[in-house]
Every structure is written in C-alpha cells, then in structure tokens.
Structure 1
C-alpha cells in the first residue's frame, strides 16, 4: 500500500491503529509474532575453511594435484611434496589477501534505532525498536533516529535529515497532507523513514513498515540480491587458465603417444616426462606473483588516500570507462554555503566554502566593512536573530546542529568584519512549509521591529508591488546559477505591540535583501573530471537532488553535454531499450531512487562498460556493490556504503579517484609485462621436454628442477616488474576494452619468439656437450642455469614492452638490480651448496661451464631488442600510412 497517498484516517483504519490509545500489549505481541521483529536479516558468510578451500577451485590447480598423485604413486615423494607445497602456498596467499567478512548488511542493521517512544494502552513508553510493529503510534523529536517507516499525522517544525537515504542535501521539512501516487521517494514529505535522523522539531506517526519491509530494508534486500561481478582481470585469467590447461592436456596425450609408440620409453619414465611437461607448462608462480603485484598496488594506493578492500579491484580501476558519481558529499561538500548577498542597490560576493567561517564579504574583490553598510548589517542581524541552528567546531571541522540552511546563515554572519548582534525575541512565528517563512518581534533600543525570513516569493507579497520587479529579476538571475534563494524583510511596529500573528505580516515590509545559497562543488573536482575526459572516462552524476540544482552543479563541474538532465520518474517508465539509450544520451540524472541508481549501473554494464560508482549514503549501497568497482567516501560516507564498496577514499577527494585510475593502469601494465616475462620460461621448458621425447633423447630437467625454475623466477626477478613506473602517455590513451584478451597477438608472438630462442639455445648446448660425453648431472645443472640466466636477461627486455631497454629510465627501478643480484646468489647456492645439490639433483660446475648459459641469456636480450626495433619500424610505417590516408580523405 502506498501509505503516503492515503488520508491518515484511512491508514489508521487499514492498520487498526488508534492515535489516542495506541496498541495494547497483547495486540502488539500478536503482531510481533505475525510480522517478526523490526530487524534486518543478517548476512550469511562462508566459514574460514570453506573460504580457504575455494582457492583450490581452479583448472590449473586440478592439473597440479593430478601430477602430485602420479608422482606419489611412482614414489617420487620429493616431487610430490614440492608440488603440494606450491599448491598450498598459492591457496594461502589467495586466502590471506581475499579474507574479509561481508559486513554491508550488518552495517545497515546497525542503522536502525535502538529505542523508540510509542503509545501503548494509552501511555507513552520507551521500548526496544526491534519490538515495534505495524500500527504502533511512534513519537519523534530532535536528535532521534527514526525507528521504522512512519506515516506522519503530526509534524511541528519537523525536519529530518535523509541525505544518506535519498541523496537530498538539505534536511526535509515534513508535513502530514496526502501526496499523489507518483511522488518519488525524496518528495514523500508525509513519511519518516527508518534509519534517518530528526534534525529539528517534533512529530508523531503510525508505523506502516518494519524490518525488511522498510525503505532501508528494501535497500538491504537489494544489496543481498545484487550479483557481484567478476573483475576483468579474473575473467581474463580464468579464460587464460582454461586455454593453458587444454594445451597441456593435448600436449601430454601427444607426448605419451609419441614416446610410447615411436621410441618405446618405459611407462614410468614416460609418466615422469608427462608430469615434467605438465609442471613445466603450468605457471605455478603466476598466481602468487599476481597477488603480490596487486598487494603492492594496494599499498601504493593507501599512501595516496585510497583504501582498496579487494585485490583484483586495483587492476579494475585501470579499465574503468564510466564513473557514476553521487552529487551530495561526493562532487559537492554537502555543506550549504552562501555565495552572494543581494541588496536593493548592490550585490556582494561571499568567499569561503562550507560551514567554516573563513572567508569574507566582498565587492569587486575587496573586503567590505559592515560598519559602512547599514543595510547589510541590518540584513545580517535579521538572519542571525531568526535562527534556530548552532554553529560549532569539532576537531578541525565546523559543524551545524539544526537546519543546514540556517547554519550557513550563521557562517555568513561570522564572516562579517564585526560581531553581529542578536536581538531578544518578544514573540515568534516558527517556520512552516505551509506559509514558508519565519518571523519574530524584536526590540532594538526603544524601537520594535518585525523581522521575517523565508522564501522570496512569499516575502515579495509583503512589499509594495512597485518594488517587486527588481527583485524578481534578481531571483531569475541567481536561480540560473543554481543558487537557492532566501529573503529577509523588516517592518517597524509601535512599541506597545507585545505579540505578532500572521495578520501582522500581510504588508508594510521593506525587503532587506536576499542570499544565494549553494552546496558548493569541491575545488579539486573540476580538474579531476577534465583528467577523466582526457583518459577516455565519462563521468555521470546520479543524484537524488532536484534537476535544476544538478544541472547547475554539472555546469560548474563540466559534466553533461548541453547540460541535459533526466529525472528518476522518467527512468521508472522506461523499458531496458529506452534506458540503454538514456544512459548514452544523458550524463546528469536527478531525483533518482536507489533502484534507479542500480538500474543505471546495470544498463551501462550491459553495453560493455566497466563501471565505477561513487557514493556515501545508504541509498548508494546496492549500486556500489553491483558496480565493477564501488568507491565510498571515507569521511562522510556511511558504514554501509564503505562495506559495500571495494575502495574507500580516505580524504573524500574525487581527485584521488584519478590517482587511483593511474595506479590501476600502471598495475595492469605491469601485470601484462609480468605474464609476458614468466610464460616464455614455461613454454620453453615444455618445448625442451616435448622435443627431447620427439627425438628420443634424455629429458633435460627433472620435475623438481622445473618447479624450482618456475618458482624462483616468479618470486625474485619477476617481482622487479611490479615496481616499474607509469609509462609516459598512459593517461592519454582510452581505457582498454572490456572484452580484450589478457595477451594480444603481439604478446603471443613475443612469448613464442623468446621460447624458441631459449629452447633452441639450450638444445644446441646440450647437443654439443652430449657429444663431448658430459655426465647427465652437469648437463642438467647447465640447462637449469641457462634457463634462469635467459630469464634474467629477458627481464630487462620486459621492463619496456616496445621501447628500447637501454633508455634513460634504465636505472630508475632499483628493485630490478637488487633481485638480479639476489637471484645470482641463490643460483650459486643451488650449484655449490651440498644440501641444495641433493634436493635439486644439481652438481658443482666449473667456471668454463658458465660461459654457455651466459651466452644464451645475452643472445636472448640482443635478439629481442632487435625484434622490438623491427616491430616499431613496421608499426611506425603503418601508422604513417594511415595518417596519410586520413589526410587525403580529409582533403
């Protein structure tokens, strides 16, 4: 039932509620049994054990486990132990990095009020909010948290702060009259919603919804139902894993058939060769190194005020194509600010933003002396005297208790160059939306005055009609700027007047002036949005605020083409096709509901966009969770929004998102370079085994030696790539496409090219030294070192995918040289430390035997740099020809 669209008498009858007696304890107990407690369902989480074993659910891990079983059956227990250790280490890394509880629903549950004042059996009583039931009569007063959804039947100056639920920047004044059925959530002034806070006044209402049925509960249900999408990286790595596993299985079958039918290998030896091939071709160290690179990205972002709560989200930032941003508290400060004062003969600008009294009242860039401006001083006295708010400092920030609009008027008065007086009130008419003004009778010396403050259109009715034209022009002028206007007027009255009523406000007033109020954009946001555009990222504003305000803010920020905007009520009537068109045509969405935000994010994702959603309110939580990456505000964001998001901005600074995107692109580039670096090791090892079996030769490496090479290169020299800096021009290129492959065609060519170089060099070396009757242990040691040194030289090729390795940034990454030195020390230990000789079946080799591994490694480095030069020349010529064709077409 749409409670807001029914008369209160009908609502009370429907709920069998009595506003004079309330429910009896027996009736309340019965309804509690029927409807359940006024609580939200708790989130269900997997146990730590289940979470840990989920990290074994990977095709490549299954292949490794099969290899471990076979080695165990063949009694190669060291091989079994090493393989299982690699599997467990990878699972442990994934578990540690990803182990966080799902707290979003718990955060919403904590927003419900703990206590509630209700009418039971004719008596007001305080009960646990969880015991509220539909039909209860509940009372509200300033400072309360609304305990359930209420249909109000009494509201005395009642204002409720709903920004966390609806996105409305100012406290909403409540009334009791019924509203049309099509009224959107943010305009339902006769309702009070669970989890919101009473800013001022008092009221009473009948409980119409509790627990999961409240608007807050609907968000909770939507949040629980939202399917969290896989990040682009996880999709790419999953597809990559399936491809590798398919290649491994086909290669193993082909290897077995060749070895068994062509060369008559013993079954046990052939199985070991197949295991060696399997272990060789699986990049065991890749999951660990990817996790480490992402973790380093998390640390870097934390140092730049962006806390990332999910490792793959680091990389997702680099792929973002659209940022959907809430307005209030994200693009704006969520602090009402007076920007202009309009008097009858002149206007003044007001410096500063927010509630901080820093700034000054100026004209033509110069500070104004209030002493020299009697009308300005009288105006400031009026708006400060007619004020129920309180301005105070808490820590380093200024805050307001009471209405935000009245709070910014106090800030305005504090910016004057002298103390503004407050006159005692002899009589007062409080503000009410039905008449849209607040008035008071004040004494100033021997003279009494009526001060009135309120909506300009109401105060214009109190002044002579001949004076209204000037002010109406000013109202239009400032409304176009997105300023919300508030006026103040004064009228002298005889000293014998002791009280005032509405009849005293009909005429005879002098309009002192008006103020233009805005929720100011954050200073840094304009530049950040411009950077997003340069990087090919589209910014969309999705807000619960009014259309005119959203368009004005969008104009200042540079959001929107032609400053078009669309409202939530229009979105609600659209089917999926129309919505898809709307998300392309519009960048500003006003008066949106939580469901609208979620639909918009889903519509963008269906079109292939990688979508980031920023927000700070409860109403943002489902969209934050659904988005490819949700970004919550750390200072003004609710706990719900923070728990639903993958990233939290510590400083609530939109510019931090741009820095995070840069880091995300750097991380992804380095991930690709790492894969480009690691895979030639695996492919060349697999080629060595396959070609050896094909030729009927001795297998050049044992499974344990292969595992060692794979892991030692992954956890040492490949780590250096994680520290590579952002390459020039990274933020001038568009985001990568959502469906792009992890490895491009050129990357596949590079991997094959390097693998052939390494495999060919080692086979040639083995052929030479086999002919010289070198023993198998020495030859295996030389092969192992040739593989490692080839990767060491190749590291410096991979630091720049296409640029010449020996450039001006060659020494910029100190980690590359540190890990290179560490790897050399470790490999010397593998060769000359006795217990390492036992574990890895290596032997000490002479100095002359190091020449060949070094020559193979150096050859790989030189030939790859030549290949880069050739490819750059070819690509450069192609681009030049395309450019020439474009010029001809243009002419």
Structure 2
C-alpha cells in the first residue's frame, strides 16, 4: 500500500529507515547544526504547519433536517399538506407532530464522529526542542519543518516523525501506533530489509512518548504526512456503515411506500370512474389510507427497544454510543480483536523460571503477587527459600531492577517502570523472599547497545555484581552456571535448547547472572563483566490470556461467530496466545509483511481463511476489516490505541477499551467496554440477539394492525361506503395504543438456546415468508371482524360516531390479545414467563387508561369523534379479540407440524 512502508514528505515517498544518517541529512538538505531561520521560514511556507487539518462538521440544523429523509416520512408530510389545504387543521397538526417527534428522537441519538479527529489532534506535542543555526531553541511544535533537528528527553511527546541520528538508551512507548505492550528500544543504524512500523527501530513517531533515554533526530514528516496524520486521514475517509437493521427498515419502508402509491393510484381511478366521489371526500379517504398503512409509531418503538438494550448492556460493562449498534451486535459474524489488553491481561507475567537443574512453573495471571512455584517435571509445589539457586536468581532479578510494584488506592496492583522489569518484581514478591539488608553501591543502567544492566550490591557483607538482560548477551559473558550442587561449567547448548522450547510457547525471556566482587570495590564498568560471570537462570514471561476471554471465545464460536486476532505483536507470541485461547486456526499467523503486497482479492481470501494476523499496521487492520465486509461479513473490531481507530470506525461494530483505551479510539467506536474484557462482548452479543428478536416480534405485532386499517379504507372505497375510521382515530391507534403495547414486547427475555443459533444472514429481510403470511392472516382476521361488526351495528340503527367508537375499541382489543401471540413465534404463547415480564402488564394498564380516556373524557370525544361505550360492547370487542388469539395459536400449531414433517422428509 502506498505510504505504508515508506515515510511521506511533500508528496514524495522515501524509505527513510533504510538510509543511513548521512544520506538522510543530505536528502533533506540539513545538517547536525540544523536549519537556519531563513531556510526554516521558507520550508514552513512550502510545507505548512505541523498540524492535522481541521474538518468542519455539519451544522446542527442540517443534522436535524436529515432525519426527515425517510420514505415513510414523505407519505406523512404529503398527508399533512393535503389535510391543511382541505382545512382539516387538527389532522394536520397531529400528523406533523408525529413527524417532528420521530425526527427529534433520531436527532438526539446521533453522535458526532468529529470528536475522534479532535482527539487525535490533541495527541500532538505542543512544544519541540530544536537545533537551528547551531543553537538550541524551544519552539511551538506547529513551527517544525522537514529537516529540523529535534532533541528528545524522557517524558517528551515526540512532535513529528523523526529519523534518529544519535541515540542514548532511548526507549519509546509506541502502543498507540503499533499496539505492542512493551516499550521499544531505539537505535540509529540503517535497516536493510523492508519492515513494518513496529520494527523500524531507527524512527521515532509523532504522538508517541519517550519512556527513557535521550536522542537527536531529524524531522522527516510533519502534520498529515506523519504516521499519526496518516491514521487521521484514514479515520476521516472512513464512511459511516449502515447497520443491518437500518438497511432492512429502509427496504421495508420502500416496500410499504410502493404498495401504498400503487393502491392509492388504483383506488383514485376506480373511485372517480365508478363511484363519482367528490374530490375532497376522495382525497380525505386516500389520506386515511396513507395514515393507516404507515406504521408511524415504529421508529419510536424501535428507539425504545434499542434504548432499553443500551441500558441492559451498560449494566454488563458494555457502553453503547450509537443506538442501532445494539441490534448490529446480534448480527455479527466475525469479531476482529486486538490482543493486548483485550484478549490478554496487558500485565506481563512470569510463567516459568529455568534454572540449571530444571524448570519451575509460576502460578498467577496478573500483577497481584499471589502464586505458588512448582517443579515443571513433577508438579510438586516448592518453597523457594529451600532452593539456594532459586534464591540467588530471585535476588538478582529483584535487586538489579528499576521497576517498583505498588498497590493503588483502589486495591489494584500497579507497576511503576517497564513491564518486563515489573514482571520480575512480581515474581520476586510471589516467592516471599526478602533482601532488605542489600545495599546498592553502584549500577550500570540498561543500554540498548549492550542489552543488559548491572548493579553492585553488598549482600551479607560481601560484594556481588548482579546482571540482568537478554539471554544471548549473558550467554556470551558466562563461564559457569549455578546449580543446587554449586557452581559448574556453563552448558550453552542446554540453555539454548530450553530457551527455544519456551520461545515456541510465545514466551519472552530475561536472563540473570552474578559475579563475586572484592569488598573494597566501589564502582563497576562494562569491562568488569569480561570474565568470572556465573549464569543463574532465565525468567520466561508473557502477557497471559484473560481466563474469561477463553470462555467467551468458546461461546462466540458456538454461536457461529468467528474470532480473529489482529495484533502488532510477534507471530510466535500471537500463535501461542491463540492456542491458549482456544482459537480454531492458531497454527499459522499471517504477518503484516505478507499482507503488504496482497491484492484486495487475495487479501479477502486470506482474511476469511486465517484467524491470527501479527506485526500489523493500522492500514492492515483497516484493509482486513474492509476485506471481510466485502465478503458479506458483519464485522466487529476491538482496540485501544489510536492505531485501531480507523478500523474501529470502518467496522460494523467498533469496540473500544474503556480503561486503557485512548479518547480517540473511544470516540471512533460504537461501543466502549467499561472493563476492557472480551467476555463483555459475548454478553453484548447475547443482548443484541435478544433485542433483534424483540424487534422482529414488534414488527410482526404492528404491521397486521396497519394492514387491517388499510383494508378497512380500501374495501370502503371499493364499495363506495363511508370510511369506518377517521384519520385521527387511525393515528391514535398507530401512535398511542400500538406504541404502548409494543413496549410490553421490549421486555421479553432471551429465548432458550439463542447463543447456539448461527448468526442470521446479513442481507436477510427482517420479514421472512412466514412473517408475511402471519401479517396477512392477522390483518384479514381483524379487518374481517371489523366489517362484520360494522354491518351488525348498522343493522341495529347506530350512528357513525358510535360505530366508529366500537370499531376502534375492537381493533385495540385485537391488538392487545395479538401482543400475547407475538411473545413466542413458534410455540404456545401463554406460559409462566409472561408473569415475569412486568412490561406486558404495565402496557395493559396504560392501554386501559388511554382507552377509558378517549371514550369517557368529553374533550377527547370532541377531538377524536368518539362516544362513551356501554359495558356490553367492551365485552363484544373482547370476544372478537379472543377469537383472533385462538386462530393465531392454531395456525402456529399447524405450521410447526408441517415444518417438522418437511424436516423429517
């Protein structure tokens, strides 16, 4: 990919890390004394400020207007205009009120993605230490230009992308870009091979932080040309993905629109030609049809159900930022997860200690200093104080160590210092061994040029040089090794073979050694380690997988959701963690170097076939998400660093870490995990599937009523008779009673076996053939009952207002009993669980109060054209509703019997 393996500057692409320092300075026309002021000013005008570009968001009024862009809203707006022209102002006001309420609900749901870009801009350094004209200056970081010489000190936030020229023990925290949990040791030499971001050790990146050491570097990229700027550009370019639910609702809305338009056109022609109806009366009837057929309350009901899902997920540590995300979680087919901190603890932990006489396993999964030591061969738990060689090893890793282990006010154990050194301090604390009498005399700090550190300690009235560092470096020093029987010749072959075994398990290793020193020695130099070094052993450590993540991955795989690990870490580590997590395809890790040169088509195949991707860059993550989406997958993506933000925004569900995640990542995400725990994702998927089931039940509940209302209007026009209900009465049913009853379905609990179902097909309509059949059946039943009742009432000489009141109550009662039918789609609906759903009974009470109000309150009678009903007619409406309930339950029984026979055949 252009710009991924090369640094960008002024439109050119140069692999700066592959050039030596002299060639870099020559290419940039700079020198060790820096630029002069005139040259810096000229370059500032040419390249612009060292800032990320501002992007203006849409004004609030435009966002509000956008929520009227819906086909069903168009129908209602047209109906409002026509009723206004005809002078039916009450109808107009009510219809417009419904439209505005729906728009307001959508407006307050919307979250601005611009905050994520502001978050990235906030990560840039505000000041920079530069060398210009041979003198050192402190300037605004925005004034930096390519070719400037920048000095770095501990704690500095690096102000631009730099090619390092001089390095003194420089270590940089790059997790925001690479996702790697450990600090990166930097150097100045050119790198011959093409490598990914995490392996470009002679570059320092804008926005990362100096953990230790000092350095001097030359600016090779500023502003949007930096790696951080590149991520910012990718984030801004990512288009917001429409959720499966919104796509399905758009298709449903268009289907209803086309059906209404066709029916209205045919009825208009039919009524004008055959019945010669007055245009005003005909238009009012057609408006009634439009209002009847449009499920006005559906957007509000969907918002209510989604909002309840949001509250439920928040109680389970999953904070939803965008309402449709609730449903999308239930549709996920792939979860792409970062490793560090999500699948793992992000707490480096020693898992084994290798000494000359054998290996020892160390229990414990975090920084908490609790865990026993046991012999690797026998499993016997051992007391470290009874093992002289172990005691010497623990003394070395504890005393020759700059990290500190502390317990915070919240009870959590924390490491102050490098994670690797911290893991050794936790190991020492687990053993219970103490060395309070040890006195530090002198030390050689860790230096990347030597890859070890050493201390001179007085222990038990004797001086001893303690050394910790890279095993291969200490191998070269060692002349002997310490076993339980004493000092003996060093066996390099043994140690290298054992180290290779641990490396295959994805463990990182730190070695320890010592050398006796004279009592009068007060200082140590590197030369003092030239001979007489006694090798002690190796600590093998890793960032362990979360125990709950192992269970959660098993749940996801059972639910048909494939979990993929995309990390900036090394392949061996990623595969070892994948095996421990129980991932299906852990044997082969695809590296970023392989992904780099793949076409989109080839990348799509690899993304589908493999589950572990290592040494990846932000652009690789984004391409992988897009490749999976192109294959029809609904993709969730987790992450915590700014390097994850573009992929999170591109994913159907972006999932950010709430504790260790950056603000940039949280703003780009759809969901934030309050506990940084992958298991919370599995719980959120369960809730998402429950919400989708309840949404489907709600749609199957609402649409038959709309169909019944539409049939009343259509048949009346075809017959040339009076419309049974007024537009306001129809709106009352759609907005007041339907919404109230649908609220009861929102509380339905998850159905048994839900997480053993495969994810639904992303393109599958929310209404299958059986759903359409059920809507048609119930709609015809309700409409037929209403026509029969209307004819019976006309025969008894009742007036229009009374007949409409009885019909309105009958339709509402049919809605109420059909709500119970919708609780369970394929079994008998009345069971014990319905008494635990308080929403059903709350909705019933509210509905009764609303119906009493519309029939018994004089003001409501005048507005809606209703009359008080004798008790007998409430009973007739209830009997018709009961008949509808029985017919639907019989239909369930017959359909289930037919499906079982078809499956058996």
Normalised TM-score (structure 1): 0.96
SS in 2 for 1:379: helix
* Contact 1:541-1:559 at 8 Å conserved across structures: no
In 2, Cα distance between the equivalents of 1:218 and 1:385?
A: 43
Give the corresponding residue for 1:886. none
2:27 to 6, 14, 19: 14
> Matches of 1:127 and 1:391 in 2, distance apart?
37
Partner of 2:751: 727
8 Å contact from structure 1 (residues 86, 284) kept in 2? yes
Per-residue CA deviations over 1:618-650 (Å, capped at 9, x if unaligned) read 110000000000000000111111111000000
1:355 aligned residue: 367
How big is the shift at 1:811? 1.3
Aligned to 2:399: 385
Deviation, structure 1 residue 434? 3.8
1:57 counterpart = 2:69: yes
Distance 2:227 2:539 in 1: 35
3-state SS, counterpart of residue 304 of structure 1: coil
* SS of residue matched to 2:446: strand
Match status 1:89 vs 2:101? yes
Aligned with 1:210 (options 222, 226, 238):
222
User: Which region of structure 1 is more displaced relative to structure 2, 399-408 or 4-13?
Assistant: 399-408
**CA contact 1:540–1:560 (8 Å) conserved in 2:** no
Corresponding position of 1:199: 211
1:463: which partner in 2? 478
For the pair 1:299 / 2:299, whether they are aligned, the reply is no
Separation (CA, whole Å) in 1 of partners of 2:575 and 2:770: 46
SS in 2 for 1:262: helix
User: Aligned partners of 2:797 and 2:559: how far apart in 1?
Assistant: 60
How far did residue 494 of structure 1 move?
A: 4.0
Q: Does the 8 Å contact 1:341/1:348 carry over to 2?
A: yes
Q: Would you say 1:132 and 2:144 are equivalent positions?
A: yes
Task: Summarize deviations over 1:741-778 as a string: whole Å, max 9, x none.
Answer: 01111000000000000000010111122122211111
Instruction: Select which of 569, 574, 578 maps to 1:545.
Output: 569
Residue 448 of structure 2: aligned partner: 433
What is the aligned length? Answer: 880
Question: How is 1:27-426 mapped onto 2 (pairs within 5 angstroms)?
Answer: 27-100=39-112, 102-180=114-192, 182-363=194-375, 368-396=382-410, 397-421=412-436, 423-426=438-441
**Partners of 1:560 and 1:691 in 2: CA distance:** 59
1: CA distance between counterparts of 2:113 and 2:506? 42
State the alpha-carbon separation in 2 of the partners of residues 756 and 821 from structure 1: 27
Q: CA deviation at 1:473?
A: 2.7
Q: Is 2:622–2:650's contact at 8 Å kept on the other side of the alignment? A: yes
Q: Which deviates more from structure 2 when the two are superposed, residues 306-315 or residues 40-49?
A: 40-49
Residue number in structure 2 paired with 1:885 = none
The correspondence of residues 651-662 of structure 1 with structure 2, limited to 5 A, is: 651-662=675-686
Shift of 1:496: 5.6
Q: CA shift at 1:449, angstroms?
A: 2.9
Gaps of 5+ in 1: 882-891
Kept after mapping to 1: 8 A contact 2:741/2:847: yes
Give, in whole Å, the separation in 1 of the partners of 2:310 and 2:187: 48
Cα distance in 2 between the residues matched to 1:96 and 1:366: 61
Aligned to 1:2: 15
**What residue is the counterpart of 2:819 in the other structure?**
795
User: What are the equivalent positions in structure 2 for 1:341-740 lying under 5 Å apart?
Assistant: 341-363=353-375, 368-396=382-410, 397-421=412-436, 423-444=438-459, 447-464=462-479, 467-495=491-519, 499-561=523-585, 563-740=587-764
Q: Is 1:768–2:792 an aligned residue pair?
A: yes
Query: Residues of 2 paired with 1:421 and 1:214: CA distance?
Result: 48
- Determine if contact 2:352/2:539 at 8 Å carries over to the other structure: yes
Shift in Å, 1:427: 4.7
Q: Is the 8 A contact 1:673 1:721 kept in 2?
A: yes
| Aligned residue in 2 for 1:888 | none
1:177 and 1:146 mapped to 2: Cα distance?
A: 20
Please give the alpha-carbon distance, in whole angstroms, between the structure 2 residues aligned to 1:10 and 1:473: 41
The structure-2 alpha-carbon separation of the partners of 1:400 and 1:201, relative to structure 1 and needing over 3 Å to count, comes to farther
- Mark the CA change 1:108 to 1:501 in structure 2 (over 3 Å): closer, same or farther: same
Question: Whole-Å Cα distance in 1 between the matches of residues 647 and 815 of structure 2?
Answer: 45
Q: How far is 1:423 from its partner?
A: 4.4
Instruction: State how far apart, in whole Å, the 1-side matches of 2:438 and 2:134 are.
Output: 42
**Which has the larger displacement, 142-151 or 129-138?**
129-138
- Secondary structure of 2:832 counterpart: coil
What is residue 852 of structure 2 aligned with on the other side? 828
Q: Describe the superposition over 1:530-562 as per-residue Cα deviations: whole angstroms up to 9, x where unpaired.
A: 000110000000000000000010010012425
Cα contact 2:344–2:545 (8 A) shared by 1 = yes
What is the rounded CA distance, in whole Å, between the counterparts of 2:605 and 2:110 in structure 1? 37
2:181 aligned counterpart, secondary structure: coil
Structure 2: distance between partners of 1:139 and 1:357:
39
Structure 2 CA distance for partners of 1:3 and 1:423, relative to 1, 3 Å:
farther
| Residues 632 and 641 in structure 1, CA contact (< 8 A), matched pair in contact too | yes
Give 1:372 shift: 2.1
SS in 2 for 1:334: coil
Q: Does 1:750 align with 2:764?
A: no
CA contact (8 A) 2:268 2:282 kept: yes
Looking at structure 1, the residues matched to 803 and 83 of structure 2 have their Cα atoms a distance apart, in angstroms, of: 23
Under a length normalisation based on structure 2, what TM-score does the superposition of the two structures give? Answer: 0.95
Question: For 2:162, what is the secondary structure of its paired residue?
Answer: strand
- My pick for the range that moved more, 536-545 or 151-160, is 151-160
Q: Structure 2 CA distance, aligned partners of 1:539 and 1:854?
A: 51
2-structure distance, mates of 1:63, 1:286: 14
Q: Which segment is superposed worse, 230-239 or 373-382?
A: 373-382
Tell me by how many angstroms 1:506 deviates.
3.8
Query: What do residues 390-412 of structure 1 show as CA deviations (whole Å, max 9, x unaligned)?
Result: 33333333333332111211222
Aligned residues: CA RMSD: 1.7
Return the alpha-carbon distance in structure 2 between the equivalents of residues 349 and 723 of structure 1.
Answer: 49
SS in 1 for 2:547: coil
Deviation larger for 420-429 or 390-399: 420-429
Aligned mates of 1:390, 1:140 — CA distance in 2:
25
